[in-house]
Structure 1
Amino acid sequence: MGVFFGEVTLETVKGRASYHDISDEIRENIKKSELKNGCVVISSAHTTCSLYFDECMHDTNYWGDEYLQADINDVMEKIAPSMKMENQYHSPGPKHIEFGLSLGSKDYPAEKWTMLNTDAHLKSSIFGSPSLTFIVKDGEIQLGALGKVYFVDWDQLRERTRKVQIMVMGE
């Protein structure tokens, strides 16, 4: 049994959910692994992000989002409206804000407004999933004819660099 670890780095956008088709990057990692039969696990440790499997919808809006992604955004906005001001949701509370301010760095400035992303946490929790697992057969991920693996960052406050981990196991 062999194990291979890979990573995909993504740049997200500000002002809207950021969708990324990572299917080709997964295929590249499977090829690099030189493993023919087993499984691939795709995982994100970002708490405001989701991984999901769906059909490619081909048509896109002016932002480049597939129409199904635009529909997902509309539905999620009804369930968990974008956070526009403090106290819109119970979270974040004063203890969390104090903790968040203590974590300041050049990549994540310690400013209160950066914690106004409760909607992104809710969307990620409702939509799921921090990881996906697929079968690898004859060196190919089994996604079907139209299947794609997508990463979405629900946090609209600022651009970010996100990482998706890939582990291929098999022989």
Structure 2
Amino acid sequence: MEFKVVQKELELKSRGWIPTFHDVTREVLQIVRESGIKNGTVCIASHHTTCSVMVQEASHDIDAFDLEYLQHDLLDIMRKLIPDFREEGMYRHPGPIHAQFGRHVNEPGNYSSFNTDGHLRSSFFGRSETLTIKDGEVDGGEFAHVYFIDWDQVRARRRQLNVTVMGTTEDVGDRKYKNGEVLNTLRQFTEEELAYMKEFDYQLDNRKTFAETKNVPKM
């Protein structure tokens, strides 16, 4: 069975001033189809520490910020957890040493390090997603789209997204586990957990007494 790996880098441009959501579904699907890999996985990973990858339903409606409604709902939640960096000293990061490092590597100014909110959101949300490939198609469900999120809103900048496709070019046979039997993952009680306890008599006796009083004629 032949095993194959294909890697591609997507170059993107984020707008700044507000987090950018890039819909890269079409590109990911095209890379998988052109890879020749029939069964395996595709990993979509950010090259940057202030960015994330999300697999979610497309939300059709788009607002004045060019965000789908579901994306803006997510952004609203993240802003409650991790407020936008709007004032110097709002977060501990960046400290004076990190600010000097930024100048050393030719950052345009101290302000370009005021992206602590982006780093924290990326840490919460994660930087990659991995999906299964079945018979040459990405198994994302009926409505799933792949989004690359740039949480860094300090400035417009160029971004890179890495796509790695791994797997076999051949069929893998029957995928059904236990012939497709529905798994029962609910808790299964032991005989000891179901056994009679003498303390039950108190409740049962009270229930009997209550039932008898219901039949007593009113005076």
Q: TM-score range by the shorter chain?
A: over 0.9
Alpha-carbon displacement from aligned partner over 1:15-66 (angstroms, at most 9, x marks no partner): 1010011111101111221111111111112010010111111111123211
**Alignment of structure 1 residues 44-83 onto 2, 5 Å:** 44-83=46-85
| 1:161 corresponds to which of 151, 158, 163 | 158
Structure 2, unpaired ranges of 5+: 169-219
**Partner residue of 1:118?**
116
TM-score (norm 1): 0.93
**Partner residue of 2:87?**
85
| 2:39 corresponds to which of 37, 40, 45 | 37
| Cα drift, residue 170 of structure 1 | 1.0
**Structure having greater relative contact order (Cα 8 Å, sep ≥ 6):** 1
When Rg is computed on C-alpha atoms for both structures, the one with the higher figure is 2
Distance 1:62 1:145 in 2: 27
TM-score (norm 2): 0.73
Q: Aligned with 2:42: secondary structure?
A: strand
| 2:140 corresponds to which of 122, 125, 143 | 143
RMSD between aligned residues: 1.0
When the two structures are aligned, how many residues end up with a matched partner? Answer: 166
Letter in 2 for 1:43: A
Percent identity between matched residues is 40
| 1:170 corresponds to which of 153, 167, 170 | 167
Runs of 4+ in 1 over 3 A off after TM superposition: none
Alpha-carbon displacement from aligned partner over 1:100-153 (angstroms, at most 9, x marks no partner): 11101xxx42x11111111111111112x2111111111110011101111110
Higher helix share: 2
Q: Aligned with 2:7: secondary structure?
A: strand
Distance 1:10 1:99 in 2: 25
